[in-house]
Amino acid sequence: MTPTTQIPELEITPDAMQIFMFSAVTWNRHHIHYSKDAALAEGHQDIVVQRALIGNFLARLLTDWLGDSGEIRELSWKVVHSALPGKKLRCQGVVTGESRLGSRRILSCDLKIVGAEQQTIATGAARVELPGID
């Protein structure tokens, strides 16, 4: 693995049911996640995907790539544009650095989610751990 290694892209199209169910399991009662009228009243085009669900999409990008061999040690993200139901999201990442901590390999990654109209939905960063190769 070298810096600038691309992480395989993950495409996700959230739907209204997924957004509603995520609100239910996370006890998120904010009405913009399940009521289109409320979302419109607050200036949104439709119900919006929760920030935490956006973070889950980035975590899934990493775990799909790492499989059972690695672990996420740190993950941070910032949502910069609302994501809407029925609109494809492309989760992307690149390895930006590698270090060692004992026998463990630590990779630094830059992450982002791009919307259907090519707008940046979220940016993020992660540190993941892989077993060392001795």
**Residue 111's closest CA among 6, 14, 39?**
6
CA atoms within 13 A on the CB side of 119: 9
Q: Provide the pLDDT for residue 1.
A: 57
How confident is the model over 93-112, as a mean pLDDT? 93
CB 36 within 8 A of CB 75: no
The topology (CATH level 3) of 6-131 is Thiol Ester Dehydrase; Chain A (3.10.129)
Q: Where are the domains of the chain?
A: 6-131
Burial grade of 121 (CB within 10 A; 0-12, 13-18, 19 or more): buried
Q: Provide the pLDDT for residue 106.
A: 94
Lowest-confidence range among 6-10, 28-32, 102-106, 108-112?
Answer: 28-32
Lowest-confidence range among 3-17, 30-44, 47-61?
Answer: 30-44
Percent over 90 (pLDDT), the chain: 70
Q: Residue type for 12, please?
A: I
How confident is the model over 108-118, as a mean pLDDT? 96
